[in-house]
Amino acid sequence: MSGGEISSRTLQIFFLIIGRRLTGRMAAVDDLQFEEFGNAATSLTANPDATTVNIEDPGETPKHQPGSPRGSGREEDDELLGNDDSDKTELLAGQKKSSPFWTFEYYQTFFDVDTYQVFDRIKGSLLPIPGKNFVRLYIRSNPDLYGPFWICATLVFAIAISGNLSNFLIHLGEKTYHYVPEFRKVSIAATIIYAYAWLVPLALWGFLMWRNSKVMNIVSYSFLEIVCVYGYSLFIYIPTAILWIIPQKAVRWILVMIALGISGSLLAMTFWPAVREDNRRVALATIVTIVLLHMLLSVGCLAYFFDAPEMDHLPTTTATPNQTVAAAKSS
Amino acid sequence: MAEAEESPGDPGTASPRPLVSLGSATKGTEGLSDISISQDIPVEGEITIPMRSRIREFDSSTLNESVRNTIMRDLKAVGKKFMHVLYPRKSNTLLRDWDLWGPLILCVTLALMLQRDSADSEKDGGPQFAEVFVIVWFGAVTITLNSKLLGGNISFFQSLCVLGYCILPLTVAMLICRLVLLADPGPVNFMVRLFVVIVMFAWSIVASTAFLADSQPPNRRALAVYPVFLFYFVISWMILTFTPQ
């Protein structure tokens, strides 16, 4: 929406500039302030060179569009976006996604990571430090799809296998228990995890884009970056799922708290700068919803895939006299 | 001097004529079709097609040979590749002449042995035949796509071939587990099966990385090998947790 408006307006400005040059007028910088363009004027006059860049690729990803209006007064956000030169050189030097989307090379740009980069991103997701923004430090240069996809795949199998193993260990002594591999749970786990890791970022991105059109936010993330953050934030659940095999309720809930603390704080610290400009209530509601959904995922997985450990304390001996009494009554 | 003859088949004569007759250019309407190379240059010699004898042999022999010969030839190729998987050396046989018969045979065998009995289908149990089949084939396709997206220079079917053939140790493990399960159940039974599955899992990983690791640039090798590890781990888990109904 806003992308189409801005690109059409840049086209109008371009033709106006050409027209003025043809008529021999000097195109002074002041001429670029056109009164009829209301809200786009601030971002365009702050960065007059941005017109030529936008025309080359009007369908560019939204992260480049809010530009970097000078004089924002927040140094942290200037650091976040890099200074203007580095943004421009990045834009002009290498348009990464230049292949059309039906070629194989287009998708190869999402897998352009080395081993040490993936490890660095995983380490960054495990240690969220309040000063450092995960996206700026690790992902802004190069969002990838390798991490989110394979972390989700590993998590699916970790949850299914650990759940199966923990149920087996809990019911180990019982004579009436017949072990089944419960293969159907793998498909259920896969649906849940992949839906969470892809649909929630889509909804969040749509929401942030909508708020961006109303309130000019300084920081905005592209869809790929949001998917990356969510994917890497799920990494902490892999060791958590393995440790959930321990059949103690207290241990499991402590693990839930720790995992939620780490990944929830990672998500909150990443998305707080994106909603900070907004209405206070909307910003808080967004962050609370993000953390709440995350908690729902972890508690839901714990409840569904892992049986409660108290079951092994149910005495089977008291069950059988009841059954025999019931059988005697019915006969 | 307008030599506008159209005489392509003339043998070489000794008359000193120009090589290319441009006289037709003055005529205008004939165009370039009237230009002919002069008859001075004799063309002679032999043209031999190098593959000719082989093509002739294939043309007649594979159509007319008996069915037994055809099947034995393909089975020998599959058997040769099985040997390469069981004793993994750095050789290119699996990659060069890839075929998908071996993976199909192995996958069908594994799925037939792993499926649960139809009598218990309403209870949540082990995987169905289709689930094993889908896991093996879609897992192999996903790993291949991942390897190609990371920039590996192996072709799609070569990679499928290698991944499929390296299921052979795990199929052998499945056979052994089924035999062991005929004995009485207990912790010893489980330990034996666990040991066999772990050994065969390690064998599969070693065999497949011997073939696949070279196709990746060295700074991304671990990224390409990890999905292979996950794939064989899942198959090993399905084999280990198989319980006869």
Could you report the per-residue pLDDT of A40-97, keeping only the tens digit for each?
Answer: 444 444 444 444 443 434 444 434 333 334 433 444 454 455 444 445 444 544 445 5
Distance (Å) of CA A181 to CA A133, A178, B226, B235, B241: 42, 10, 24, 13, 6
A183 touches chain B (CB under 8 A): yes
A110 touches chain B (CB under 8 A): yes
Within-domain flag for A91: no
Within-domain flag for A86: no
Task: Report d(CA B84, CA B99) in Å as an integer.
Answer: 14
Distance (Å) of CA A59 to CA A100, A204, B17, B48: 12, 21, 65, 57
CB contact under 8 A, B243 and A179: yes
Q: What percent of chain B has pLDDT over 90?
A: 29
How many residue contacts between A and B have a Cβ separation below 8 Å?
A: 65
Within-domain flag for A29: no
Residue A61 near residue A140, CB atoms below 8 Å: no
Task: Report d(CA A150, CA A128) in Å as an integer.
Answer: 21
Residue in A with minimal Cα distance to B237: A161
Q: What percent of chain A has pLDDT over 90?
A: 24
State residue B199's pLDDT score.
95
ipTM of the complex: 0.71
Confidence of residue A244 (pLDDT cuts 50, 70, 90): very high
Report pLDDT digits (tens) over A111-165: 888 888 888 888 888 888 887 777 777 767 788 889 999 999 999 999 999 998 8
Confidence of residue A168 (pLDDT cuts 50, 70, 90): confident
Give how far B90 is from chain A: nearest CA, Å. 24
Residue B226 near residue B142, CB atoms below 8 Å: no
State residue A135's pLDDT score.
75
Task: Report d(CA B140, CA A151) in Å as an integer.
Answer: 17
Residue A67 near residue A43, CB atoms below 8 Å: yes
Within-domain flag for A239: yes
Contacts of B220 in chain A (CB under 8 A): 113-115
Within-domain flag for A301: yes
Residue B178 near residue A139, CB atoms below 8 Å: no
Within-domain flag for A123: yes
Confidence of residue A19 (pLDDT cuts 50, 70, 90): low
- Average pLDDT value over all residues in chain A: 73
Query: What is the mean predicted confidence (pLDDT) over B64-83?
Result: 88
For chain A positions 117-136, those within 8 Å of chain B (CB to CB) are 118
Q: Which residue has the higher pLDDT, A180 or A201?
A: A201
Task: Report d(CA A44, CA A47) in Å as an integer.
Answer: 5
Within-domain flag for A54: no
Name the range with the highest mean pLDDT among A7-11, A99-103, A216-220, B80-84: B80-84
Domain hosting residue A201, numbered range:
113-307
Within-domain flag for A48: no
Give the pair of three-digit tokens for residue B84. 């390469």
> What angle in degrees, to the nearest 10, is found between the helix axes of A146-170 and A280-305?
40
Confidence of residue B143 (pLDDT cuts 50, 70, 90): very high
Best of B120, B122, B146, B220 to mutate (most A CBs within 10 Å, chain A) = B220
Report pLDDT digits (tens) over B102-138: 999 999 999 998 887 665 555 666 778 888 898 899 9
Residue B197 near residue B240, CB atoms below 8 Å: yes
Of B128, B149, B234, the CB nearest to A107: B149
CA B244 vs. chain centroid, Å, equals 35
Element (H, E) at A270: helix A249-275
pTM over 0.80: no
Structural domains counted in chain A: 1
Residue B200 near residue B173, CB atoms below 8 Å: yes
Report pLDDT digits (tens) over B181-203: 888 888 888 899 999 999 999 99
CB contact under 8 A, B149 and A183: no
